[in-house]
Amino acid sequence: MIFSYPYKHLLLILFLFTSFYAAAQSTVVTGTVTDVGNNQKLPYVSVSFEGSTIGTNTDNNGKYTISTTQPYNRLKVSYLGYKAVIVNITPGKQQVVNIRLVPTSQNLGEVTVQSKKRAKYDNENPAVKLIRQVIANKAKNRPEAYNYVEYKEYDKMQFSLSNISEKVKEKKLFRKYKFIFENKDSTSYPGKSLLPIYLKERVTQVFYRKNPEATREKRLGEKSVDFGPGFDTEGVGQYFQHLYVKVDIYDNDVLLLGRQFLSPIADNAPTFYKYFITDTITLQTGKKLVQLSFTPRNTNNILFEGDIFITLDGNYAVQKAALIINKNINVNFVRSMNIDQDFELSPDGRYHLSRSNTFADFGLSQKRKSGLFGSRTIVRRDFVINKPHPDSTYATPPEVDDEELRNKPDSFWVKNRFDTLSTAESKTYKNIDSLVHMPSFRRTADIINLLFAGFKNFGKFEIGPASTFYSFNPVEGFRLRLGGRTTADFSKRIFFEGYGAYGFKDERWKYFFATTYSLNGKSIYRFPQHYIRASIQRETKIPGQELQFIQEDNVLLSFKRGRNDKYYYNDQYRFEYVSEYANHFSYKLGLRKLIQTPAGSLVPFINSAGTQTFNNLTTSEATIGLRYAPKEQYYQGKLFRTPIINQYPKLSLEYTAGLKVLDGQYRYHKLDFRGEKRFYEAPFGFSDVILEASRTFGQVPYPLLNISRGNQTFAYVIDQYNLMNFLEFVSDKSASIIVDHHFGGFFFNKIPLFKRLKWRETASVKALWGGLSRENTPAFNGNLYQFPVDNKGVPITYALGNKPYTEISFGVENIFKFIRLDYVKRLTYLENPDVAKWGVRVKIKFDF
């Protein structure tokens, strides 16, 4: 199996670093923190070694574990509404230290000892009334309440291998990497022995304007580890960043791990959460806070649990939040995930986010201790409120590849690093740099990169993808292909790519060569794109299978059902100009000459009158394409760019004109529209919806009509009709809808066996309406090509009638964490010959 971006380099990291571990003598302190008056266990108490940045918080049961290899001999314990204490400890030993905190004098009279007997939950209890006040006041407590806001933001993302076995470091393979083993961090997160392998820091100045609304993040500096030319470190960083999005508790929904979690202060949160007042606190400033605990009503839903602290100053703002992902939800590889946020008081009495720390423990199972541990820490300072700037300040300029931003001196980071690096983190940059310069590491990286990513890097160019080296089909038989492309090390402005292939049955060569020139001085894989591209290609093609939907020479797609010998030989010459804008509007201009020669059972083209045959069909086309995808984000790497699916729509419209130039045989016009959007429907999952429409004007033979995307492979493809034969339907006007819904285990989580397996339900419906005008129907026009027939003379291509083509499917995904199986049923046009009325299809997808 060949993994695609962005997962392949993540898998490479894990493979290369698995089993690193280092031991050191540690001071380990565990214990429980309670209230001195009522012995209530206190959650989220801050516990740290005095004089250090090493600290932790107690859990929901007031328990804590903290450790260090440094000779600290005192703990500092602090909590809102309680007096801070200093406790002596013994360095270098494991010990239990239980701590009892005394409430501050202002708060002593407000502590309420609650009965152990829990009353029946009431949705109108004081806690729910308070959360409704928080919801009602959300708008004024967000930064967007101001006309202008600016602040400086420090963003640190770190990933480590955790709790790796000591035995592996003794193996011969790792003897050369002893300096890596010496960089263990067993103090930052209690119970975790971390080996940092990835670190990225960024400092930005953020400007916000309400009217007209605009947000700009001006990069001031960034720093990241680099795994060398054979590894797309930047792409991995983009993927990690998507997993650990910036959490805004004031949003109704929080997107984490590709799943949409309902915020505990969402507009409809009281419907899905239970709330309890845990404590009332009076700060030294005299301001009052309420500690509000919350839990999901249904622990199987995509929800948080934890605590939030609410101000009682009339603003009902969040002063502190501790969110924990519910352990019962259906998410792969995640043992735990926490989001801790602190808000500071502004001079105007409002609170703004000052620090956010999201950290997660990943592993193949709950039982195994080893895995991957990641954290993202965001610190904001220097807030300036309602200070306007010129319009140019809020305009986002095109992103440029600025080496100066990535090479800031140490003095810059001393001043702007708002969160101190741990000792292990501070050594990560140097250790990874030393590692990638070792020949043995580079050789291993090359081999794994070829296996997982499909490419072998040679510096200025790379060969691949490996999944296309071998394939087969009825026309070409056994087929071999070898290709490659240049990298940014060759040039950041001009890129070359190509391949050569040979079919041993038809004994013909196929080839492709393209050159792309960047017009904005940056990689063509970076947003916003601005380039020109010229290409030439000779290749086989199944009618209706466009390149953006399927890569036909992937060996996994060589297996097909039924008769699938309907092919063209295409000779294509193409020129394209693409321009994207910062607002995510783009357009493209294109010219194409296409020569289609029938192959397989399509030989020859023959007119419907049966009086003339044609060796090929030549067309010349000019195209104009428009696309708008507001707030679209990408995984962007050195040699790839993949859109991140979010809740915003993507709309495209393309106009094509057939021209009688350069041997073009037909004049016609064509419009194609496509709209797609993901609808999140927490807690019921999400739906991916695709709408398409096409209209062809002018008389053309069937290869130039809209050929519906059939699928005779055994793979389940979202964009195709999985029980429609190739070339089964053609039309000059059509409209379609595809709805693919993912329940995320909403029903299966209620069934113990399925819940344990973490299976998830899917359901989809696909409907296609269309028709063929009289002028494009061969039966009425003897000069048009006859629709294809089988070897018995029975037609195999049809026009859609009054009813739509419809198919539905019900499936189970997340089988073995990466397999989706669908039962697909075709509902209409069952009378057509050689059609599958039902089938089971498989889709391979690695996901959380």
Profile the chain (848 residues) by mean pLDDT over runs of 10 residues: 48 47 62 87 81 73 84 83 84 90 52 45 85 94 92 93 72 69 70 84 95 92 84 73 84 84 93 90 79 88 91 92 85 87 89 92 73 91 94 79 81 91 87 84 78 81 88 92 91 94 96 95 86 96 66 57 88 96 93 95 89 93 97 74 86 97 96 95 87 97 95 91 95 97 89 89 97 94 92 91 96 92 97 94 85
- Note the helical H segments in 222-377: 233-243, 269-272
Quote the crossing angle between the two packed helices 439-452 and 7-17, to the nearest 10°. 140
Which tokens belong to 780? 């009425």
The per-residue DSSP string of 602-629 comes to T-SEEBTTSS-EES-EEEEEEEEEEEE-
Instruction: Determine how β-strand 99-101 pairs with β-strand 27-35.
Output: parallel
Give residue for tokens 């063509």: 524
φ and ψ at residue 624, rounded to 5 degrees: -130, 125
**Which residues face 67 on adjacent strands?**
28
Task: Calculate the dihedral angle through the C-alpha atoms of 34, 35, 40, 45, rounding to the nearest 10 degrees.
Answer: -50
Which tokens belong to 740? 């693919």
H or E stretch covering 393: helix 391-394
φ and ψ at residue 404, rounded to 5 degrees: -60, -35
Give residue for tokens 């020949």: 439
CB burial of residue 606 (10 Å; 0-12, 13-18, 19+): middle
pLDDT of residue 107: 36
Which tokens belong to 584? 């995510």
User: For residue 480, how many other CB atoms are within 10 A of its CB?
Assistant: 14
Q: Are 217 and 206 a contacting pair, CB within 8 Å?
A: yes
Is the link from the previous residue into 528 a cis peptide, with omega within 30 of 0?
A: yes
Q: Are 241 and 157 a contacting pair, CB within 8 Å?
A: yes
Task: Calculate the dihedral angle through the C-alpha atoms of 17, 21, 26, 28, rounding to the nearest 10 degrees.
Answer: 70
Which tokens belong to 593? 């000459």
Distance CA 139, CA 317 (A): 10
Q: Are 65 and 78 a contacting pair, CB within 8 Å?
A: no
Question: Which residue type is seen at 438?
Answer: M
CB burial of residue 249 (10 Å; 0-12, 13-18, 19+): buried
Sequence-distant (6+) residues with CB within 8 A of 4 are: none
pLDDT of residue 544: 83
Length of the chain: 848
62 Rama class: left (phi>0) / alpha (psi -120 to 50) / beta: left
Instruction: Determine how β-strand 27-35 pairs with β-strand 94-96.
Output: parallel
H or E stretch covering 132: helix 126-136
φ and ψ at residue 424, rounded to 5 degrees: -65, -40
Distance CA 5, CA 236 (A): 9
Distance CA 839, CA 810 (A): 11
Distance CA 339, CA 304 (A): 10
The per-residue DSSP string of 184-252 comes to -B-SSSTT--EEEEEEEEEEEEEEEETTTTEEEEEEEEEEE----TTS-HHHHHHHHHHHTPPP-TTSS
Is the link from the previous residue into 6 a cis peptide, with omega within 30 of 0?
A: yes
> What does pTM read for this prediction?
0.77
**Which residues face 152 on adjacent strands?**
205, 381
With residues binned 3-state (H G I as helix, E B as strand, rest as coil), the percentages for the chain, rounded to 5, are 15, 45, 40
Collect contacts of 750-754 with beta carbons under 8 A, ≥24 apart. 750/300
Instruction: Identify which of 178, 146, 539 has the alpha carbon closest to the alpha carbon of residue 352.
Output: 146
SS3 331: coil
H or E stretch covering 87: strand 85-88
pLDDT of residue 507: 95
Q: Are 501 and 528 a contacting pair, CB within 8 Å?
A: no
pLDDT of residue 24: 38
φ and ψ at residue 328, rounded to 5 degrees: -85, -10
Distance CA 783, CA 531 (A): 41
Which tokens belong to 232? 């797309």
Q: Are 543 and 703 a contacting pair, CB within 8 Å?
A: yes
Q: How far is CA 623 from CA 4, 575, 672, 707, in A?
A: 30, 10, 11, 18
Q: Are 335 and 363 a contacting pair, CB within 8 Å?
A: yes
Which tokens belong to 291? 């500690």
